[in-house]
Amino acid sequence: MSIKKRLLLSYIAMTFIPIVLFALIATALFSAFYTDMAGTGGRKGMPAFWEESAQRRDLIAGVKFMAQTEPERFMDRDFLKKTDEQLNRLQTGLVVLNNNRVSYTSPFVENLELKQPIQEMKTSWTQNRREKSRFSVEKYDIAFSDGTSGTVYFVSDLKSFFAEARKFFPLLFLSLLLVIGLTNGFLTYLVSRSFIQPLYMLKKAANHFKEGNLDHEVKLKRKDEIGELGAAFEEMRARLHESIHLQLQYEENRKELISNISHDLKTPITGIKACVQGIQDGIVDTAAKQDKYMKMIAKKAEDMDVLIDELMLYSKLDLNRLPFHLEPLDIRSFLRDYVEELRIDPRMKGIKLTFSTSNDNPVPVMADREKLSRVMVNIIGNSLKYMDKQEMEILVELFADEEKATVHIRDNGLGIDSEAQQHIFDRFYRADPSRNTETGGSGLGLAIVKQIVEGQGGTVWVESQLGEGTGIYFTLMRVKTIETNSDH
């Protein structure tokens, strides 16, 4: 539930709950004050005041009916006396006028000591401020058989009712204030608590983050705006935790890189130092030995130069400092020309090199021509290092669909076991470290391949079986036509 809806419901509750509670309290107070007020018990759950009022109305209605049907009875003092006695029990008296002259006055009315004649009193609620008592006066006109007219007054004393009312209404007002205060206070506490508690949890989480503890999860389990804020906090925590973990991993990789660089540079330097030491010690005492040692020094220096170039290239790729000059390129023509040039390479002597494609039409892709050549050099160079058969084969295949072009370079060399396949694209990883002295590999070739391919929006993977050979795949994104993209 959103905060806006929660506040709206609280405002509605603050309006209607006090009304309902006030009605219940008012009913209870009314029953407490006016039940059995006249000394008579309630009937069927009805307060005595209302029962008394109902009896008074019924009796007055009966008297009025008698005045209408048998008006002569109101000249009979015995009838008036008996009727008045019944009315007296209900705090009501009877006054009868005949031709504006009082013919009968109830002792109950005489005891009220009214300060004005009954004829001058309004037939409604009235007040004698001096006595602070209240009366109800009802008037009914009658016609006698002799042609004269008369009037019947019913005077009710409600002093006891209004005496209780002076206690009832202040208590009712205090009850109203109490209900409003408690309801609003309770609802305000509930609503504010639903805001303050999650905010306190967010503050606690922020303190954990400030102290570097990113393992403390933020779980508010809410679906409102504060819940969204908590989710943002949790996402921030997760990203910070991942970033720091990645940074630590980078630091470990950096240390490992420095260690590997030191090791790989030390090997040719050690060889060069040994050759120089041999020359200085006079071991090289013939022209043939001298030529052999100089070739060894040159070979080690060349290995160092290649290693340093690959380190610089990988470093630039890893830091995204080497720009890619992507352009529309027909990968089919590129691979075909590359294979033709590679066949005349002295290293390919005795090796069967084949190019195959499933599409005879141009296959335009977006690629960097120079870096794509480096990918081919590194993959095929890696195949040449691990060939162990007399009849060696390297097959370059091209597959294309509407979205991408896939290049497959397969050899029939040693192959790679399944465990090593997961790491061959890691820097300085060698599937067969014991052959490093012979092959002179730096362990960066396939790592550079991965960086270049992924930098051009493609993917690279390996499939291999021991003793049968290795296949390396990489993809490049296709474009519609070379001519269309060349205009951009």
Q: Categorize the per-residue pLDDT at 437 as very low, low, confident or very high, splitting at 50, 70 and 90.
A: very low
Is 337 found in the same domain as 451?
Answer: yes
Instruction: Give the domain range for residue 406.
Output: 324-486
The predicted structure's pLDDT at residue 335: 93
Between 431 and 191, residue with greater pLDDT: 191
Is 145 found in the same domain as 172?
Answer: no
Is 452 found in the same domain as 344?
Answer: yes
- Most confident of the ranges 144-148, 282-286, 297-301, 328-332: 328-332
Is 339 found in the same domain as 471?
Answer: yes
Mean pLDDT value of segment 341-357: 87
User: Which CATH number do you get for residue 227?
Assistant: 1.10.287.130
User: What's the domain count of the chain?
Assistant: 4
Q: Give me the percent of the chain exceeding a pLDDT of 70.
A: 77
Domain assignment present for residue 162? The answer is no
The predicted structure's pLDDT at residue 428: 65
User: Which CATH number do you get for residue 349?
Assistant: 3.30.565.10
Is 270 found in the same domain as 348?
Answer: no
Q: Categorize the per-residue pLDDT at 355 as very low, low, confident or very high, splitting at 50, 70 and 90.
A: very high
The predicted structure's pLDDT at residue 330: 92
Domain assignment present for residue 40? The answer is no
Between 407 and 389, residue with greater pLDDT: 407
Strand pairing class (351-357; 327-330): unpaired
The predicted structure's pLDDT at residue 471: 92
> Rounded to 10 degrees, what is the CA torsion of 40, 43, 48, 53?
-110
The residues, any chain, with a CB within 8 Å of residue 433's CB and separated by 6 or more, are: none
- Most confident of the ranges 118-132, 315-329, 454-468: 454-468
Q: Categorize the per-residue pLDDT at 39 as very low, low, confident or very high, splitting at 50, 70 and 90.
A: very low
- Min mean pLDDT across 34-38, 175-179, 306-310, 426-430 is at 34-38
The predicted structure's pLDDT at residue 421: 81
Is 98 found in the same domain as 19?
Answer: no
The per-residue pLDDT of the chain, averaged, comes to 77
Domain assignment present for residue 43? The answer is no
Is 333 found in the same domain as 461?
Answer: yes
The amino acid at residue 268 is: P
Residue corresponding to tokens 């295949």:
397
Between 154 and 41, residue with greater pLDDT: 154
Is 187 found in the same domain as 283?
Answer: no
Mean pLDDT value of segment 302-318: 72
Domain assignment present for residue 289? The answer is yes
Is 10 found in the same domain as 123?
Answer: no
Q: Categorize the per-residue pLDDT at 244 as very low, low, confident or very high, splitting at 50, 70 and 90.
A: confident
- Min mean pLDDT across 109-118, 175-184, 240-249, 371-380 is at 109-118
Between 480 and 321, residue with greater pLDDT: 480
64-108: pLDDT as tens digits: 888 888 888 888 888 888 888 888 888 888 888 888 788 888 888
CA distance 165 to 127: 14
User: Which CATH number do you get for residue 133?
Assistant: 3.30.450
Residue 435 has pLDDT above 60, yes or no: no
Pick the last residue of a domain from 322, 342, 358.
322
Secondary structure (H, E, C), the chain:
CCHHHHHHHHHHHHHHHHHHHHHHHHHHHHHHHHCCCCCCCCECCECHHHHHHHHHHHHHHHHHHHHHHCHHHHHCHHHHHHHHHHHHCCCEEEEEEECCEEEEECHHHHHHCCCCCHHHCCCCEEEECCCCEEEEEEEEEEECCCCCEEEEEEEEECHHHHHHHHHHHHHHHHHHHHHHHHHHHHHHHHHHHHHHHHHHHHHHHHHHHHCCCCCCCCCCCCCCHHHHHHHHHHHHHHHHHHHHHHHHHHHHHHHHHHHHHHHHHHHHHHHHHHHHHHHHCCCCCCHHHHHHHHHHHHHHHHHHHHHHHHHHHHHHHHCCCCCCCCEEEEHHHHHHHHHHHHCCCHHHCCEEEEEEECCCCCCEEEECHHHHHHHHHHHHHHHHHCCCCCCEEEEEEEEECCCEEEEEEEECCCCCCHHHHCCCCCCCCCCCHHHHHHHCCCCCHHHHHHHHHHHCCCCEEEEEECCCEEEEEEEEEECCCHHHHHCC
Is 440 found in the same domain as 473?
Answer: yes
Instruction: Tally Cβ neighbours within 10 Å of residue 183.
Output: 20
Residue 460 has pLDDT above 90, yes or no: yes
Mean pLDDT value of segment 443-454: 84
Strand pairing class (392-400; 351-357): parallel
Pick the last residue of a domain from 322, 352, 371.
322
Between 258 and 295, residue with greater pLDDT: 295
The predicted structure's pLDDT at residue 331: 92
Is 337 found in the same domain as 294?
Answer: no
Token representation of residue 109: 């009315």
The predicted structure's pLDDT at residue 255: 74
Between 214 and 325, residue with greater pLDDT: 325
Dihedrals phi, psi of 137, to nearest 5 degrees: -120, 125
Q: Categorize the per-residue pLDDT at 481 as very low, low, confident or very high, splitting at 50, 70 and 90.
A: low
Is 339 found in the same domain as 475?
Answer: yes
